[in-house]
């Protein structure tokens, strides 16, 4: 299908973008368009105008400080995924981004766009919540900051007002010496997660967990923090018994209904196993995995020579391929 008719506005500054959004009631902001355009093609979204922010240079910055990774609204997934400074400061970003769709999508889609789309199964909303990050938005009354815990309201619903534009996302850096893990269950590589979990653990000098953060996606109407599971691990040495208790608490947090991919009990079982699966306590960033890298095709060898006058196809010729020795069609017995 094709989208309904709409006006296209391409402002060159944040102030112009805010004014354009206010001047076109019902308009929507487009950055990478990897979620919005398919919705428009299916007429699930019919905005009368699109405010295209791709020409605003200020929104294309990716900054890594000693406190946070700051991602502008026009920074692509792939840019963040492959940035070495990002991988050192917050390795969970590189690990989670490798699960986002496929490379062509990550080349166009934006991190902030995914956050604003707010799919309950998406990786970036989970990560912003896990790291206690926040969003910066701008509207007619100025700029404001929205904590991740307050930003995600429901599936595809955020607390950003209709006349506000998301400017940047702040992901706090991984605390020094902290362990982390990210796990996801999906039907196929690149599909939305049926269940996903991210964990950050800080240990005290005696080896016990002094701070635990666990966030989940795909199991509720929005990404959620698993406070019961976090509390089950606090103050413990993370032995098998306490991890199992935390996994049971995590399974109890599954509220998403069953669908054609998995029943609710099945999803809860997957989720419990994912939460309890031992993962190496990463303290430094591993090389970002690239699951979309393909092996080069094998080299093709020349077909063996045929006897003079032979019209038999070689193994390299398919049954419907024209014979290289004939100008016309070949009869296939």
- Provide the CATH number for the domain around residue 223: 3.30.390.50
* pLDDT tens by residue, 133-155: 999 999 999 999 999 999 999 99
Per-residue pLDDT at 304: 53
Report the range out of 187-201, 209-223, 249-263 with the highest average pLDDT: 209-223
Per-residue pLDDT at 289: 45
Q: Which residues lie closer than 8 Å to 260 by C-beta, 6 or more apart? A: none
Per-residue pLDDT at 273: 62
* Residue 277 belongs to some domain of the structure: yes
* ∠ CA 239-220-225, rounded to 5°: 45
* Residue 292 belongs to some domain of the structure: no
* Residue 20 belongs to some domain of the structure: no
Task: Count the domains in the chain.
Answer: 1
Per-residue pLDDT at 192: 85
More confident residue, 280 or 77: 77
In angstroms and rounded to an integer, the radius of gyration of the C-alpha atoms of the chain is 25
* Residue 219 belongs to some domain of the structure: yes
Nearest to 181 by CA among 136, 222, 233, 254: 233
Nearest to 157 by CA among 114, 127, 117: 117
3-state secondary structure the chain: CCCCCCEEECCCCHHHHHHHHHHCCCCEEECCCCCHHHHHHCCCCCCCEEEECCCCHHHHCEEECCCEEEEECCCEHHHHHHCHHHHHHCHHHHHHHCCCCCHHHHHHCEHHHHHHHCCCCCHHHHHHHHCCCEEEEEECCEEEEEEHHHHEEECCEECCCCCCEEEEEEEECCCCCCEEEEEEECCCCCCCCCEEEEEEEEECCCCCEEEEEEEEECCCCCCEECHHHHHHHCCCCCCHHHHHHHHHHHHHCCCCCCCCCCCHHHHHHHHHHHHHCCCCCECCCCCCCCCCCCCCCCCCCCCCCCCCCCCCCCCCCCCCCCCCCCCCCCCCC
* pLDDT tens by residue, 26-71: 999 999 999 999 999 999 999 999 999 999 999 999 999 999 999 9
**Neighbour-count burial for 196-216, b at 16+ CB within 10 Å, e otherwise:** bbbbbbbbeeeeebeebbbbb
* Residue 241 belongs to some domain of the structure: yes
Average pLDDT, the chain: 85
Q: In which domain, by residue range, is 268 found?
A: 176-284
The model's pTM is 0.81
What is the pLDDT confidence band of residue 76, given thresholds at 50, 70 and 90? very high
* Residue 152 belongs to some domain of the structure: no
* Residue 25 belongs to some domain of the structure: no
* pLDDT tens by residue, 236-295: 999 999 999 998 999 899 998 877 666 666 666 655 665 555 454 565 444 444 444 433
> Do 125 and 108 contact (CB within 8 A), yes or no?
no
* Residue 256 belongs to some domain of the structure: yes
């Amino acid at each position: 299908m094709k989208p309904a008719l709409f006006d296209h506005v391409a402002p060159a500054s944040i102030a112009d973008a805010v004014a354009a959004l206010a001047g076109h009631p019902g308009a929507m902001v487009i950055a990478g368009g990897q979620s919005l355009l398919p919705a428009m093609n299916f007429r699930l979204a019919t905005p009368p105008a699109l405010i295209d922010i791709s020409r605003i240079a200020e929104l294309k910055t990716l900054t890594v400080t000693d406190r946070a990774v700051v991602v502008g609204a026009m920074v692509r997934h792939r840019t963040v995924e492959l940035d070495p400074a990002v991988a050192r400061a917050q390795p969970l970003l590189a690990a989670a981004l490798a699960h986002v769709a496929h490379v062509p999508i990550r080349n166009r889609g934006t991190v902030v766009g995914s956050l604003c789309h707010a799919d309950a199964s998406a990786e970036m909303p989970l990560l912003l919540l896990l790291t206690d990050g926040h969003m910066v938005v701008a509207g007619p009354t100025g700029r404001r900051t929205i904590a991740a815990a307050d930003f995600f309201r429901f599936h595809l619903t955020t607390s950003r007002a209709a006349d506000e534009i998301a400017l940047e996302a702040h992901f706090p850096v991984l605390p020094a010496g902290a362990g982390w893990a990210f796990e996801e269950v999906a039907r196929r590589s690149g599909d939305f997660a049926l269940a996903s979990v991210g964990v950050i653990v800080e240990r005290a000098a005696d080896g016990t967990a002094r701070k635990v953060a666990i966030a989940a996606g795909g199991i509720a109407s929005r990404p959620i923090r698993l406070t019961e599971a976090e509390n089950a691990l606090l103050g413990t040495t993370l032995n098998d018994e306490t991890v199992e208790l935390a996994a049971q608490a995590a399974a109890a947090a599954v509220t998403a209904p069953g669908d054609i991919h998995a029943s609710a009990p099945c999803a809860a079982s997957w989720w419990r196993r994912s939460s309890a699966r031992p993962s190496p306590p990463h303290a430094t960033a591993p090389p970002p995995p690239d699951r979309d890298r393909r092996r080069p095709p094998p080299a093709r060898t020349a077909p063996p020579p045929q006897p003079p006058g032979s019209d038999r196809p070689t193994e390299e010729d398919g049954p419907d391929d024209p014979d290289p020795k004939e100008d016309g069609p070949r009869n296939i017995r």
